[in-house]
Amino acid sequence: MEYEAVIGLEVHVQLNTKTKAFCSCPNTFGAPANTLTCPRCQAHPGTLPIVNKEMVHKTIKAGIATNCAIQKVSRFARKHYFYPDLPSYYQITQMDEPICTEGHIDITVLNEDGSSYNKSVRINRIHMEEDAGKLVHDDTGRPLSYVDLNRAGCCLIECVSEPDISTGEEAYQYLTELKKILQYINVSDCNMEEGSLRCDANVSIRPKGSKELGVKTEVKNMNSFRNVRLAIDYEIKRQIKALNNGEKILQETRLYDAKENTTKGMRSKEGAADYRYFPDPDIPVLILKEEEIESARKELPELPQKKRERLKKDYDLPDQDIIVLTEEPELADYYEAAVKAYPKQPKKISNWIMVEVNACLL
Ligand code: ADP
Ligand code: MG
Ligand code: ZN
């Protein structure tokens, strides 16, 4: 039988706010362990959360930039689970009433023969939540782990796509575009190595042309976009092989092993009911005014897709040039300033930037 893959991505992004989500501890990477904490982010009893305005503002920007509807009424909930890096034993997140819903990101995907196609990947939601701390495992061989709460309570957004993605390459392009958008609007540095962007891939397969969704696995532990692509492609092959052998796909969480380029079963998946979600009684319903949404909208710069289309139209450049020049908005600005100074040869200036200038920037 011929199968097709169905993929949905859950992407966690750390916001570059000055302070944490519900207390005023600084949000800084790399400080000595447990120096950026207070009773609230250590979850002492009796401490109360205060919603960080900058987090809300930046999430609205992320929502508008990904074509989402911004909900004037949204709510925080508690998601319960036990893990040593989560001292309150619940995470404050948004469940039934997220702040951003129903967006989409448009991507262009290259075929192997050099041709390309466009696709729109729908976004189910973007919601706000707090990050957990970090476990640091003893590296002298003793069976010890340490808890660092510097990251506990930092601002995260989670962007959940609809299962509209069909290949590892499409997932790669979706992540690249999402990252570019978030960097353009300056809400995150999206540095996967420092953990400020983390991606889980939900993967299932189904008979080609079928409308029903198959049983999915959730693949974690990829530390680069390239590994996300490899993990998905591996997982699709593994599932097809299993079905062809008459095995069942188990709904489970699997870890990607970059050394072997395989995925390994880790645990069966919790259902939402296991988390005992309920509205956080310490945080009032979040109500946004039209002005707050409008002020976020006004702050948005020209977004990557618009910039690419405009540069193509204004300067008639090949696609490859456009991709390089719009890698960072500053480079595109520099290009446009250079063309203004020397308007006769936009393509020559592009060559000069892509070769000479980029070589100096490395
Ligand atoms: P969960 O509660 O298990 O995390 P959700 O329904 O919230 O599941 O979906 C999480 C992610 O999984 C979303 O990105 C969604 O698009 C994707 N997804 C849901 N069902 C499937 C499926 N059968 N195959 C692939 N991806 C799926
Ligand atoms: Mg999930
Ligand atoms: Zn704190």
pLDDT tens per residue across span 116-132:
899 999 999 999 999 99
Q: Which of 277, 299, 321 is the last residue of a domain?
A: 299
pLDDT in tens, 194-248: 889 999 999 999 999 899 999 999 999 899 999 999 999 999 999 999 999 999 9
CA 232 to centroid of ligand 2, rounded, Å = 15
Same domain membership, residue 71 and residue 212: yes
Q: Is the pLDDT of residue 362 over 80?
A: no
In this prediction the pTM is 0.93
Same domain membership, residue 173 and residue 28: yes
Same domain membership, residue 312 and residue 229: no
Same domain membership, residue 290 and residue 215: yes
Q: How far is CA 296 from the centre of its chain?
A: 20
Same domain membership, residue 324 and residue 216: no
Same domain membership, residue 336 and residue 270: no
pLDDT in tens, 140-153: 989 999 999 999 99
Same domain membership, residue 175 and residue 73: yes
Spatial CB neighbours of 222, under 8 Å, sequence gap ≥ 6: 199, 201, 228, 230, 231, 256, 258
Same domain membership, residue 346 and residue 197: no
* Alpha carbons 29 and 305: distance in angstroms, whole number: 30
Do the Cβ atoms of 110 and 116 come closer than 8 Å?
A: yes
Q: Where are the beta strands (DSSP E) in the chain?
A: 3-14, 69-70, 73-74, 77-80, 90-93, 100-110, 116-130, 134-137, 145-148, 155-161, 197-207, 217-220, 252-257, 262-268, 278-279, 286-287
Same domain membership, residue 179 and residue 281: yes
Same domain membership, residue 319 and residue 214: no
CA 333 to centroid of ligand 2, rounded, Å = 39
Confidence of residue 272 (pLDDT cuts 50, 70, 90): low
Q: Is the pLDDT of residue 321 over 70?
A: yes
Ligand 1: nearest atom to the Cα of 162: 16
HSE-CB of 74 using CA atoms within 13 angstroms: 24
Same domain membership, residue 232 and residue 355: no
Same domain membership, residue 347 and residue 207: no
Q: Is the pLDDT of residue 111 over 90?
A: no
Domain count, the chain: 2
| DSSP 8-state secondary structure symbol assigned to residue 184 | H
Ligand nearest the Cα of residue 21 is: 3
Protein residues near ligand 3, an ion, with CB under 5 A:
23, 25, 38, 40-41
The domain of 312 spans: 304-361
Question: Mean pLDDT, to the nearest integer, of 9-23?
Answer: 97
pLDDT in tens, 154-192: 999 999 999 999 999 999 999 999 999 999 999 999 988
